[in-house]
Amino acid sequence: MNKAAITGIGGYVPDHVLSNKDLEKIVDTTDEWIISRTGIKERRILNDSKKATSYLAIKAAKNLIKKKKLNPESIDLVIVATITPDLPVAATAPYVASQIGAKNAFAYDLQAACSGFLYGMSSAVSYINSGRYKKVLLIGADKMSSIVDYKDRATCVIFGDGGGAVLFEKSKNNFGWEDEFFRSNGEERMALKIKAGGSLFPTSSESYNNGWHNIYQDGKTVFKYAVSEMSYVTEQIFKRNNLNNENVNFLVPHQANKRIIDATIKRINLSEEKVLMNISKYGNTTAATIPLLLHDYESKFKLGDSLVFSAFGGGFTWGSSYLTWAY
Ligand code: UT7
């Protein structure tokens, strides 16, 4: 049976650049602190209050459709991985599907924070492998600026806005999805969250006054888990697929913090030039980091290349996967 494979990529980031120097004027921080602690120099912001995550998702999807000369009516399913849906209820994906002309598709959102795109790849692959659907469009998009408190220096320096899209179809060769190793741990959900607006803490004047609608993270706890768990699952994928520095072409890691990525590559003994990075220019775009990496580096991939993905995010959610490039 032919494997499920990525057969197209699209991406989009807004034009507006928010640099570390700009942030120095807003909060008590420095360009030097942000670069040395995170690797981020600037991030993109969707600076238009009338435009939401769907705008980023639609732009990324249309970019893919144009590049691949894809008939949107042939898409069977649209999944949008996001933690910043346009509306709390009424999923973003059906709107995106309508706007891109995917009128024969069904569509839904997937929420697994920074692991959303990685988990979404597993869903897309399973649908394709089941034989029920032929074309699954997976989008990772987040307007993080809509949930960031620009008075909180611990979060506002990290996040940016963006969107990326990939198409999954059955491979025309022997390459495609090879393996995955995913985990989660809800015990630590309070370490990275938006506290209010859900059923545990419905919106109230208290929630509003306390800023519980913005993203909060206990950076140290998240960092500690991310370093040990992201490197562990990536190591498992390496071990059980006999992967090593010689036969892996690219590591595609979620872009949360360059130090987390450095710890992962140390554990799996991978040389730095094999690691795809764009954190310095986009920051952490949550569900969009991995498809944006694929978009930025697409021209480097060759048929049969080995790509290993890994991510860690709120929930906690994390995992690693392995695919061989099919075009
Ligand atoms: O993508 C989803 C998963 N998210 C992540 O993986 C993020 C994981 N966490 C991190 O990346 C890091 O914890 C941060 C980048 C958020 C923070 O880096 P850190 O090295 O863990 O810093 P820290 O929280 O231990 O803070 C060290 C110091 C503190 O000051 P004191 O208490 O030592 O005086 C902070 O108040 O740095 C201070 N600090 C800052 N200083 C300048 C915190 N944020 C800033 C800032 N500028 N923006």
**Does 260 sit in the ligand 1 pocket, CB within 6 Å?**
yes
> 65 C-alpha to center of ligand 1: Å?
39
* Beta carbons within 8 Å of 187's beta carbon, 6+ residues apart: none
- Give the distance from CA 319 to its chain's centroid: 12
Bridge partners (DSSP) listed for residue 17:
44
Write out pLDDT tens, residues 122-173.
999 999 999 999 999 999 999 999 999 999 999 999 999 999 999 999 999 9
Question: CATH top-level class for 4-170?
Answer: alpha beta
Q: Are 147 and 197 in contact (CB under 8 A)?
A: no
Q: Where are the domains of the chain?
A: 4-170, 177-277+300-324
What average pLDDT does range 240-261 have in this prediction? Answer: 97
**Does 117 sit in the ligand 1 pocket, CB within 6 Å?**
no
Do 4-170 and 177-277+300-324 show the same overall fold?
Answer: yes
* 3-class secondary structure, 224: helix
Fold type of domain 177-277+300-324: Peroxisomal Thiolase; Chain A, domain 1 (3.40.47)
Average pLDDT over the chain reads 97
Q: Which ligand 1 atom minimizes the distance to the CA of 222? A: 8
Rounded CA separation 149/172 (Å): 47
CA distances from 9 to 40, 168, 176, 196, 260 (A): 24, 10, 15, 35, 26
Q: Are 247 and 306 in contact (CB under 8 A)?
A: yes
Give me the pLDDT at residue 240, please: 97
Q: pTM, whole model, 2 decimals?
A: 0.97
Write out pLDDT tens, residues 94-106.
999 999 999 999 9
Question: Alpha helices, DSSP H only, in 147-243?
Answer: 153-156, 205-209, 219-240
Best mutation site among 19, 223, 227, 312 for ligand 1 pocket (most ligand atoms within 8 Å of CB): 223
Give the closest residue (by CA) to ligand 1 atom 1.
256
Indicate the pLDDT class of residue 1, thresholds 50, 70 and 90. confident
Residue with tokens 């507006």, as numbered in its chain? 16
Give me the pLDDT at residue 176, please: 98
Reply yes or no on whether the pLDDT at 285 is more than 80: yes
What average pLDDT does range 190-204 have in this prediction? Answer: 98
Pairing of strands 42-45, 306-313: unpaired
**Does 151 sit in the ligand 1 pocket, CB within 6 Å?**
no
130, 132, 135, 137: CA torsion to nearest 10: -80
pLDDT > 90 fraction of the chain, expressed in percent and rounded: 99
Rounded CA separation 127/104 (Å): 16
What average pLDDT does range 315-326 have in this prediction? Answer: 98
